[in-house]
Structure 1
Amino acid sequence: MTSQSMHKETRVAITILTVDDSPSMRMLLKAALVDLGYDVVQAEDGVDALETIDGAAPDLVITDINMPRLDGFGLIEQLRVQDHYRTMPILVLTTESSDEKKQRARAAGATGWIVKPFDPEKLAAAIRRVLH
């Protein structure tokens, strides 16, 4: 047994809620996060995320911006008005990279920003930054 596998067994599981309307992106993201040792709950858009989040009790949300029904900006804004989610880390994972979109996400309450396609190591570093 390696020290890394022992470390995974002794730590408390961290749950991440991923929100993306693309089934393939949800699959890629879940695979990367599970490989990093996280528990993953998935939602397909902002409405689904709001319906899922209380039961999932995530430590972190990773959301896309462009989604049907409720986009990432709306999801972040709706989470931030709830006391329970006011300080929870929220990372935006999107193909968008404009400064205007980043500023809008920050204004809504996003904690960080990752551009798709994501690099698993950069994703892991961003998660560590906001959780620790």
Structure 2
Amino acid sequence: MKSCLVVDDSKVIRKVARHILEGLDFAVAEAADGREALDHCVATPPDVILLDWNMPVMSGMEFLRALRETALAPLPKVVFCTTENGSAHIRAAIDAGADEYVMKPFDRETLESKLQIVGVV
């Protein structure tokens, strides 16, 4: 079973993502900020991370940069999931190491297609 870490400071978004991902046969873990997510990844690396941009403690971009500096191999796939839709934000996320990008709000079909693109579905 593939694993996904949902990283978002919104409990509602984490719950919606969990419901969709469990329907796609993922084992799901959750983190409310980037620091919590980084600790989880070091202890139990997931196959894929659904990552929010704007969070307290450690933002999605700060988390992504820190994750890319770890010794994890292979690195989890990262799908940014955010309301930030400007091309500059998308380019910055991809340049920082994100594998894909999905806009909020998202549905099962959209999320599943992004997970297929990164090769985990």
Question: Is the deviation greater in 20-29 or in 46-55?
Answer: 46-55
What count of residue pairs does the alignment treat as equivalent? 120
- Structure having greater relative contact order (Cα 8 Å, sep ≥ 6): 2
**1:102 is aligned with what amino acid?**
I
Q: Does 1:56 align with 2:44?
A: yes
Q: Deviations over 1:53-81 (max 9, x none)?
A: 12332001110000001000011100111
Mapped partners of 1:63, 1:24: distance in 2: 14
Q: Which has the higher helix share?
A: 1
Mapped partners of 1:56, 1:106: distance in 2: 24
Q: Deviations over 1:75-94 (max 9, x none)?
A: 11001112315743100000
Q: Does 1:42 align with 2:30?
A: yes
Mapped partners of 2:23, 2:116: distance in 1: 14
Coordinate RMSD, CA, aligned: 1.3
Whether the aligned pair in 1 keeps the contact of 2:5 and 2:49 (CA below 8 Å) is yes
Q: Does 1:80 align with 2:42?
A: no
Q: 1:75 to 1:86 in 2, by over 3 A?
A: farther
Q: Which has the higher strand share?
A: 2
Mapped partners of 1:23, 1:86: distance in 2: 28
In terms of Rg, which structure is larger?
1
SS of the equivalent of 1:131 reads coil
Mapped partners of 1:54, 1:47: distance in 2: 11
**1:67 is aligned with what amino acid?**
M
TM-score, reference length from structure 1 = 0.86
SS of the equivalent of 2:56 reads coil
Task: State which of 91, 96, 113 in structure 1 corresponds to 2:79.
Answer: 91
Whether the aligned pair in 1 keeps the contact of 2:45 and 2:76 (CA below 8 Å) is no
Whether the aligned pair in 2 keeps the contact of 1:77 and 1:108 (CA below 8 Å) is yes
